[in-house]
């Protein structure tokens, strides 16, 4: 399942009944944040409580993107799950660090490490 939006690509890989990997590429900003939020909400609605966001191809993120991440982690944790950030680009990592988001959602070096943290070691 792949969705195209100006400057944003979201590919979803269903790992199992409770885990999905969402690969986010392009720019996550005011124009595109709603698309990612729809994908996250859909996965949570389908019962997948452990969501891994692969940020290795995300070149830019503004406060709209940060807000989507914060709302998603809150929703996932309320249902017994979590949100895992994987391989943020240096620019995105910097935004996560200076805003303090890394204290709430610590980033992982890659998708494999995030999946291990989510309890999916395969």
Query: So what's the pLDDT on residue 12?
Result: 97
Q: Which CATH architecture has domain 2-114?
A: 2-Layer Sandwich (3.30)
pLDDT at 120: 73
Q: Low-confidence residues of the chain, pLDDT below 50?
A: 4-5
HEC readout, the chain = CEEEECCEEEEEEEEECCEEEEEEEEEECCCCHHHHHHHHHHHHHCCCCEEEEEEEEEEEECHHHHHHHHHHHHHHHHCCCEEEEECCCHHHHHHHHHCCHHHHCCEECCHHHHHHHCCCCC
pLDDT tens, 95-104? Answer: 999 999 999 9
């Amino acid at each position: 399942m792949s969705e195209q939006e100006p400057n944003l690509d979201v590919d979803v890989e269903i790992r199992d009944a409770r885990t999905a990997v969402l690969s986010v590429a392009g720019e996550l900003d005011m124009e595109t944040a709603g698309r990612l939020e729809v994908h996250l909400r859909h996965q949570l609605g389908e019962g997948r409580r452990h969501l891994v966001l692969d940020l290795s191809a995300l070149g830019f993120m503004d406060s709209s993107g940060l807000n989507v991440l914060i709302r998603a982690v809150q929703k996932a944790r309320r249902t017994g799950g979590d949100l895992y950030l994987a391989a943020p680009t240096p620019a995105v990592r910097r935004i996560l660090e200076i805003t303090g988001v890394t204290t709430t959602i610590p980033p992982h070096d890659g998708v494999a490490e995030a999946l291990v943290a989510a309890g999916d070691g395969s």
